[in-house]
Structure 1
Amino acid sequence: MSQSLLVVTAHVGDFAWRCGGAMALHAQRGVPVHLICLSYGENGESNAAWQGHDAVEREAVKQLRRAEAEAAATVLGVSSLDFYDLGDYPMPDSAEAVQRISQTMRRTNPAVVLTHPEHDPSNLDHCRTFDMVLRARMQSMAPGHGRDHIVPPQIMSFEPHQTELCGFKPNILLDITSVWDKKWQAMQSMPTQRNLWAYYERVAMQRGAQAGRRAKSTGQLYGEAYQSIFPTVMSTLVV
Structure 2
Amino acid sequence: MTETQGEKKTALVISAHAADFVWRCGGAIALHAELGYEVTVACLSFGERGESARLWKEGKRLAEVKAIRRAEAEAAAEVLGVHALRCLDLGDYPLDLGAEAEAQMVDIIRAVQPAFMMSHSQYDPYNTDHMRTTEFVLTCRMIAQAWGHNPGEKVLGAPQLYLFEPHQTEQMGWKPDIFLDITSVWNKKRAAMEHMNGQVHLWDYYTRVAQQRANHFKRNSGGMAGGRDCKFAEGFQSVFPRTVDEL
**Residue 40 of structure 1 aligns with which residue?**
46
Give the secondary structure class of the aligned counterpart of 1:185: helix
Say whether 1:150 aligns with 2:160: no
CA-atom RMSD, angstroms?
A: 1.0
Give the secondary structure class of the aligned counterpart of 2:186: helix
Structural mapping, 1:81-230, within 5 Å: 81-145=85-149, 146-147=151-152, 148-215=154-221, 217-230=227-240
Percent identity over paired residues:
48
Q: CA deviation at 1:223?
A: 0.5
**How many angstroms apart in 1 are the aligned matches of 2:241 and 2:207?**
30
Q: CA deviation at 1:215?
A: 1.9
**Residue 18 of structure 1 aligns with which residue?**
24
Q: Is the 8 A contact 1:23 1:76 kept in 2?
A: yes
Any unmatched runs of 5+ in structure 2?
1-5
Partner AA of 2:240 in structure 1: F
Equivalenced residues, count: 235
**Residue 233 of structure 1 aligns with which residue?**
243
**Residue 65 of structure 1 aligns with which residue?**
69
Say whether 1:4 aligns with 2:14: no
**How many angstroms apart in 2 are the aligned matches of 1:90 and 1:124?**
8
Note closer, same or farther for the CA distance 1:86–1:96 as it changes in structure 2 (3 Å cut).
Answer: same
Any unmatched runs of 5+ in structure 1?
none
**How many angstroms apart in 2 are the aligned matches of 1:36 and 1:178?**
25
Post-superposition CA distance 1:82-139 (Å, at most 9, x none): 1111111111222222222111111111011100011000000001110110111001
Deviates more, 1:98-107 or 1:26-35: 98-107
Q: Is the 8 A contact 1:3 1:108 kept in 2?
A: no
Q: Is the 8 A contact 1:140 1:152 kept in 2?
A: no
Q: Is the 8 A contact 1:138 1:152 kept in 2?
A: no
Q: CA deviation at 1:37?
A: 0.2
TM-score by length of 2: 0.93
**How many angstroms apart in 2 are the aligned matches of 1:103 and 1:12?**
20
Post-superposition CA distance 1:128-186 (Å, at most 9, x none): 11011011100111011133112121111000001011100000000000000000000
Post-superposition CA distance 1:25-73 (Å, at most 9, x none): 00011111000000000001001111132xx210100000000000000
Give the secondary structure class of the aligned counterpart of 1:174: strand
**How many angstroms apart in 2 are the aligned matches of 1:177 and 1:197?**
16
TM-score by length of 1: 0.96
Q: Is the 8 A contact 2:9 2:36 kept in 1?
A: no
Note closer, same or farther for the CA distance 1:106–1:52 as it changes in structure 2 (3 Å cut).
Answer: closer
Q: Is the 8 A contact 1:120 1:126 kept in 2?
A: yes
